[in-house]
C-alpha cells in the first residue's frame, strides 16, 4: 500500500476542528432576514377521525402569520413506491398515531407559535386502535387504512430452491421464535428545516440523508416542479436511516414559506424526535432451519411479522431486505420467506442502520448458536462451515465477489482469545460470536443506483469537488475527498468539498444502504481521473512526451525518465487557465453494476459488492441483579479497503454502542400508543459509561469494483452486536434470551425462574 499517499492513512475528519469547537453551523443555526418560526400540532390520539379543525383563534394571535391544516394541502400521499403511498405531509381526514402532524403555524417567534398551537381546536372522533401487529391482523381488528382491510400493507413471499426438499434432506430441523423491540435513532441533531420561497422557487435547507429524494417527495406533495426546488443539506449531526424521507418539518416549512412569503424554520423538539419521527420495526421472527449432523445448513423457512406503525415509510423495502438477508451470509440452497408489514397505531417504522437484516440476523445468529449447542459444535466452526465464499451465487441470486467473512471470523476469534476463553468456563462470564453480511448499495427502489461528481481544479492548486453525496455525520466528505486527492495526486487539504445541493447538478440517491463510499466514491474517483486525464493530455502535447509517463503525486507533476520536466499541479492548472483558456473540469458518473431486485421473487444481485463482519462480545452478569456488563467487543470487518482506518474505527464504535443499546436497554415504553419515555433520561441509550472496550480490525479484500477496492461498512457494524451479546449471555448463564432488549429485570426473572426460587445467585 506504500504507493498511496492519501488513502489508507488514519486521517482525522477534515471538519473535526470546526465541529469540536462549535464553529460548525447546522440547519438550526441558519438565520434568514424576516425568518419565521414554525411549529407543528400533533395528534394526542392514536386513531381518530378529524371532524373539524378550528384555527381562527390561533390565526388571530399577535405575531402569527399562517396556520395550515390538511385542508390547505394538495392532499397528495407520498411514501416508498407509488403503490405504497399512504402518508400525508399533514393529516387528511384521520390521524393514525399519537404524534401525527395535524396542523402547523408560522409566527414571528416561538412564544407566539406555541400560543397559537394551544388555541387550535381539533374535533376528533376517536376510533378503536390496535397496537400489536398480531392483533391488527386478526379478523375484526380496527382498519387503519381502507386500502389494507387486514392491516397488512405489504407481504413479500420469496422462495429460492425448494425448502420441502431441503428439510427432507436434513438430519435435524429446529424452529425458534425471536422478538425485537422498537429502537429510536437518537441522532444528536433533531430534524430541522428552513424554507425560503421567492420568484416561484423554493429553497429548503434540511437535515436529510438524500436531498434528491427529498426534492422528489416535496415536488409531489406541494406541486412544484423538481427544477423549481432546491434542497441543500447543511452539516448534519446524525441520521442512521431516520432522515431518509420527507418529514412534516420539511413539508410544513415549505408550505408555510409559500403561504407567508417569508422564510420559515422548523426544528423538532426531542419529544418530537421520539414520538413523531421513525423507529426501528419491532419484529417477531420465526425461523425453521434444517441441517445435517455435521452442521451443514440445508434449508431455512422464515416468517417475519413487523409492526409497521401507522404508515409504510420504507417498511416494504425493509421487509424485502429482511428476507433477502436470510440467504446471503450462509450457503443455503433452499430458503423460503414470508414477511408481513402490518399497520398498527404505533409510531411509524422506518429505515434504521441494518434495515431489517439486523432483526433477522439477531434471530438467525442466535439460532446458529442453538444449532451448534445441539450438535456439540463450536459456534465458530458452525459458521466457518457454512459461510459463503468468493465466486458463489447464492440461492437468491447474489453474486459474491470479494469475500472476507472467514478471515473476519478467524480474526475476532484470535484477537478475543476465543478458544482459551471458551475452555475456561466461569459462571457469570461469557463470550459470544456473531457475523453478518451487508450490501454496498442496494438497487431496489430505482432503476438506477448511481451518483455523479465534478472535480474542478483552481489556479492556486486547490480543487473544488462537487458531489451529490450527503455527509450525515459519518464523515463521508473526508473519505470522498481522500479518494479525489489520491486519484488526482494532490494533498488532502487542497480539496474543497461542495456537497449535497440539488442546484449543483451532481445527483446522488442519498446516504443509505452503505452506498456512499462505493457509489459516490467511484463517481468521485472517475471525476478526478477525468480531470487528471485532461491535464496530462495538455502537458503531454506541450512536452511532447507520452501521456502515460506523466504522473502527479502530492501536488508535484513529473515525467518518468525526464528529470528536466517538472511542474507543480498548481502551476500547471494556472498556466492552462490563464494562458491557454483550458478549463479542466472532471466529470464522474457511476452506476453500480447490480441488478434490479424482482420485488415479487426477491431474486437478483442487488449490490455491486458485499461486505462482511464478525464480532465477539464478552459479558459479565451480576447473578443477583441480572445486570449485564459488556466487557469487550472485538470486531472485524471486510471493508474491501480501509480508505480511512480512523473513520472506520469511529463507525465501528458508534455502531457497536448503538447495537449494545438495542441488545440490553433501549426500548420504547408505550401505553395506549403513547410513548412513555420520550426523553434521554428514560429512554436508555447507552452513555460512554456503558461503552465497553472496542477493538476493531479491517480485513482488506480489495474489491475489484470498489474505489481503490473499498466496500461499504457503516451499517453492517451494528448487525452482529446484539446476537453476539445474546450468545455471550448464553455462555455466561446457560439461558437463551430470545427477546430484545435483555434488560437486567429480564435476566433476573430468567435466573429466578430457573432456580425456582427468589435468590438467583
Residues of this chain that interact with another protein (CB under 8 A) are 41-45, 98-99, 110-111, 114, 118, 269, 271, 275, 624-625, 627, 665, 667, 669, 674, 676-682, 684, 686-690, 743-745, 748-749, 758-759
Q: What number of other Cβ atoms are within 10 A of residue 99's Cβ?
A: 26
> What is the DSSP track for 470-512?
--SSS-HHHHHHHHHHHHHT--GGGEEEEESBGGG---B--S-
Q: Is the separation of the CB atoms in 204 and 212 below 8 Å?
A: no
Q: What does the buried/exposed string (b/e) look like for 472-498 if buried means 16 or more CB atoms within 10 Å of the residue's CB?
A: bbbbbbbbbbbbbbbbbbbbbebbebe
Place of cell 435466573: 751
Q: Are strands 429-439 and 610-621 parallel, antiparallel or unpaired?
A: antiparallel
**Minimum CB distance to another protein smaller for 15 or for 622:** 622
Q: State the cell numbers at 53.
A: 379543525
CA 526, CA 520: separation in Å to the nearest integer? Answer: 10
Q: What does the buried/exposed string (b/e) look like for 616-655 if buried means 16 or more CB atoms within 10 Å of the residue's CB?
A: bbbbbbbbeebebebebbbbbbbbbbbbbbebbbbbbbbb
Minimum gap (Å) between residue 39 Cβ and another protein: 10
Minimum gap (Å) between residue 193 Cβ and another protein: 17
> What is the Rg, in whole angstroms, of the alpha carbon atoms belonging to the chain?
27
**Minimum CB distance to another protein smaller for 83 or for 118:** 118
**Minimum CB distance to another protein smaller for 42 or for 281:** 42
Minimum gap (Å) between residue 644 Cβ and another protein: 31
Q: Is the separation of the CB atoms in 524 and 508 below 8 Å?
A: no
Minimum gap (Å) between residue 691 Cβ and another protein: 10
**Minimum CB distance to another protein smaller for 582 or for 623:** 623
**Cis, peptide link before residue 741, omega less than 30° from 0:** yes
Name the 3-class secondary structure at 121.
Answer: strand
Minimum gap (Å) between residue 63 Cβ and another protein: 14
Minimum gap (Å) between residue 676 Cβ and another protein: 5
691 CB-side CA count, 13 A = 11
**Minimum CB distance to another protein smaller for 228 or for 744:** 744
CA 164, CA 161: separation in Å to the nearest integer? Answer: 9
**Minimum CB distance to another protein smaller for 286 or for 677:** 677
> What is the DSSP track for 317-352?
HHHHHHHHTTSSSB--SEEEEEEEEEE-SSPPB---
**Minimum CB distance to another protein smaller for 10 or for 270:** 270
Minimum gap (Å) between residue 408 Cβ and another protein: 30
Q: What number of other Cβ atoms are within 10 A of residue 681's Cβ?
A: 7
**Minimum CB distance to another protein smaller for 582 or for 746:** 746
Minimum gap (Å) between residue 690 Cβ and another protein: 6
Minimum gap (Å) between residue 110 Cβ and another protein: 5
**Minimum CB distance to another protein smaller for 548 or for 759:** 759
Place of cell 455435521: 294
**Minimum CB distance to another protein smaller for 40 or for 584:** 40
- What DSSP character marks residue 360? H
**Minimum CB distance to another protein smaller for 76 or for 625:** 625
**Minimum CB distance to another protein smaller for 527 or for 658:** 658
Minimum gap (Å) between residue 737 Cβ and another protein: 16
Minimum gap (Å) between residue 91 Cβ and another protein: 13
**Minimum CB distance to another protein smaller for 665 or for 725:** 665
**Minimum CB distance to another protein smaller for 42 or for 641:** 42
Minimum gap (Å) between residue 82 Cβ and another protein: 32
Return contacts of 146-153, CB within 8 angstroms, 24+ apart: 147/86, 148/343, 151/342, 151/343, 151/344, 152/340, 152/341, 152/342, 152/343, 153/84, 153/86, 153/308, 153/312, 153/315, 153/316, 153/341, 153/342, 153/343
Q: What number of other Cβ atoms are within 10 A of residue 281's Cβ?
A: 34
Q: Which is it for the CA torsion 482, 487, 489, 494, positive or negative?
A: negative
**Minimum CB distance to another protein smaller for 458 or for 627:** 627
Name the 3-class secondary structure at 421.
Answer: helix
CA 732, CA 675: separation in Å to the nearest integer? Answer: 33
Q: Is the separation of the CB atoms in 386 and 331 below 8 Å?
A: yes
Minimum gap (Å) between residue 99 Cβ and another protein: 8
Closest CA to 301 of 370, 369, 349, 363: 363
Minimum gap (Å) between residue 680 Cβ and another protein: 7
Minimum gap (Å) between residue 258 Cβ and another protein: 25
CA 455, CA 434: separation in Å to the nearest integer? Answer: 41
- What DSSP character marks residue 167? H
CA 150, CA 341: separation in Å to the nearest integer? Answer: 11
**Minimum CB distance to another protein smaller for 49 or for 425:** 49
Name the 3-class secondary structure at 297.
Answer: strand
CA 235, CA 26: separation in Å to the nearest integer? Answer: 5
- What DSSP character marks residue 423? H
Q: What number of other Cβ atoms are within 10 A of residue 56's Cβ?
A: 10
Minimum gap (Å) between residue 102 Cβ and another protein: 9
**Minimum CB distance to another protein smaller for 426 or for 679:** 679
Amino acid at each position: 500500500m506504500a504507493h498511496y499517499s492519501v488513502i489508507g492513512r488514519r486521517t482525522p475528519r477534515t471538519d473535526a476542528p470546526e465541529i469540536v469547537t462549535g464553529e460548525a453551523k447546522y440547519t438550526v443555526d441558519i438565520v434568514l432576514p424576516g425568518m419565521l418560526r414554525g411549529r407543528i400540532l400533533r395528534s394526542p390520539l392514536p386513531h381518530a377521525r378529524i371532524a373539524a379543525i378550528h384555527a381562527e383563534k390561533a390565526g388571530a394571535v399577535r405575531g402569527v402569520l399562517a396556520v395550515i391544516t390538511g385542508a390547505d394541502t394538495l392532499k397528495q400521499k407520498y411514501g416508498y413506491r407509488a403503490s405504497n403511498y399512504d402518508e400525508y405531509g399533514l393529516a387528511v381526514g384521520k390521524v393514525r398515531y399519537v404524534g401525527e402532524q395535524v396542523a402547523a403555524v408560522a409566527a414571528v417567534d416561538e412564544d407566539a407559535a406555541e400560543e397559537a398551537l394551544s388555541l387550535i381546536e381539533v374535533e376528533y372522533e376517536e376510533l378503536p386502535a390496535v397496537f400489536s401487529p398480531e392483533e391488527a391482523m386478526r379478523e375484526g381488528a380496527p382498519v387503519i387504512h381502507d386500502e389494507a382491510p387486514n392491516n397488512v400493507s405489504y407481504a413479500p413471499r420469496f422462495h429460492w430452491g425448494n425448502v420441502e426438499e431441503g428439510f427432507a434432506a436434513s438430519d435435524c430441523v429446529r424452529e425458534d421464535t425471536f422478538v425485537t423491540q422498537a429502537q429510536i435513532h437518537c441522532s444528536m441533531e433533531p430534524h430541522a428545516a428552513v424554507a425560503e420561497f421567492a420568484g416561484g422557487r423554493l429553497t429548503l435547507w434540511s437535515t436529510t440523508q438524500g436531498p434528491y429524494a427529498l426534492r422528489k417527495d416535496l415536488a409531489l406533495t406541494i406541486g412544484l416542479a423538481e427544477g423549481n426546488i432546491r434542497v441543500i443539506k447543511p452539516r448534519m449531526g446524525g441520521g442512521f436511516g431516520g432522515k431518509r424521507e420527507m418529514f412534516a418539518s420539511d413539508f410544513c416549512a415549505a408550505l408555510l414559506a409559500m403561504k407567508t412569503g417569508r422564510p420559515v424554520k422548523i426544528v423538532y423538539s426531542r419529544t418530537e424526535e421520539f414520538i413523531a419521527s421513525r423507529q426501528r420495526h419491532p419484529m417477531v421472527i420465526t425461523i425453521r432451519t434444517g441441517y445435517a449432523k455435521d452442521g451443514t445448513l440445508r434449508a431455512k423457512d422464515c416468517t417475519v411479522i413487523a409492526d409497521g406503525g401507522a404508515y409504510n415509510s420504507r417498511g416494504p423495502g425493509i421487509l424485502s431486505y429482511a428476507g433477502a438477508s436470510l440467504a446471503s451470509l450462509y450457503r443455503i440452497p433452499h430458503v423460503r420467506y414470508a414477511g408481513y408489514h402490518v399497520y398498527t397505531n404505533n409510531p411509524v417504522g422506518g429505515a434504521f442502520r441494518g434495515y431489517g437484516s439486523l432483526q433477522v440476523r439477531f434471530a438467525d445468529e442466535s439460532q446458529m448458536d442453538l444449532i451448534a449447542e445441539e450438535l456439540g459444535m463450536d459456534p465458530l466452526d458452525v459458521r466457518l462451515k457454512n459461510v459463503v465464499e468468493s465466486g458463489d451465487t447464492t440461492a437468491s441470486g447474489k453474486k459474491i465477489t470479494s469475500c472476507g467473512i472467514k478471515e473476519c471470523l478467524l480474526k475476532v476469534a484470535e484477537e478475543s482469545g476465543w478458544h482459551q476463553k471458551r475452555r475456561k468456563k466461569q459462571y457469570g462470564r461469557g463470550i459470544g460470536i456473531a457475523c453478518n453480511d451487508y450490501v454496498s448499495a442496494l438497487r431496489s427502489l430505482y432503476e438506477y443506483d448511481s451518483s455523479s461528481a465534478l472535480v474542478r481544479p483552481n489556479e492556486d492548486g486547490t480543487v473544488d469537488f462537487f458531489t451529490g453525496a450527503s455527509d450525515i455525520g459519518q464523515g463521508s466528505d473526508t473519505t470522498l475527498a481522500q479518494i479525489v486527492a489520491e486519484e488526482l495526486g494532490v494533498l488532502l487539504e487542497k480539496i474543497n468539498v461542495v456537497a449535497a445541493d440539488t442546484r449543483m447538478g451532481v445527483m446522488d440517491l442519498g446516504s443509505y444502504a452503505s452506498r456512499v463510499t462505493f457509489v459516490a466514491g467511484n463517481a468521485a474517483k472517475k471525476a478526478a481521473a477525468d480531470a487528471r486525464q485532461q491535464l496530462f493530455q495538455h502537458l503531454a502535447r506541450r512536452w511532447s512526451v507520452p501521456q502515460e509517463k506523466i504522473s502527479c503525486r502530492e501536488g508535484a507533476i513529473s515525467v518518468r525518465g525526464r528529470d528536466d520536466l517538472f511542474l507543480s499541479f498548481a502551476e500547471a492548472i494556472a498556466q492552462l487557465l490563464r494562458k491557454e483558456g483550458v478549463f479542466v473540469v472532471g466529470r464522474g458518473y457511476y452506476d453500480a453494476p447490480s441488478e434490479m431486485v424482482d420485488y415479487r421473487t426477491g431474486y437478483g444481485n442487488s449490490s455491486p459488492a458485499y461486505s462482511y463482519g464478525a464480532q465477539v462480545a464478552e459479558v459479565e452478569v451480576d447473578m443477583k441483579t441480572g445486570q449485564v456488563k459488556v466487557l469487550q467487543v472485538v470486531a472485524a470487518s471486510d471493508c474491501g479497503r480501509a480508505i480511512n482506518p480512523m473513520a472506520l474505527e469511529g463507525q465501528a464504535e458508534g455502531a457497536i454502542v448503538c447495537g449494545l443499546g438495542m441488545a440490553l436497554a433501549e426500548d420504547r415504553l408505550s401505553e395506549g400508543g403513547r410513548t412513555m419515555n420520550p426523553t434521554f433520561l428514560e429512554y436508555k441509550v447507552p452513555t460512554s459509561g456503558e461503552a465497553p472496550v472496542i477493538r476493531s480490525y479491517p480485513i482488506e479484500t480489495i474489491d475489484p469494483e470498489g474505489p481503490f477496492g473499498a466496500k461499504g461498512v457503516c451499517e453492517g457494524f451494528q448487525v452482529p452486536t446484539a446476537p453476539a451479546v445474546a450468545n455471550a449471555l448464553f455462555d455466561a448463564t446457560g439461558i437463551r434470551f430470545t427477546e430484545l432488549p435483555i434488560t437486567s429485570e429480564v435476566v433476573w426473572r430468567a435466573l429466578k425462574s430457573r432456580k425456582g426460587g427468589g435468590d438467583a445467585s
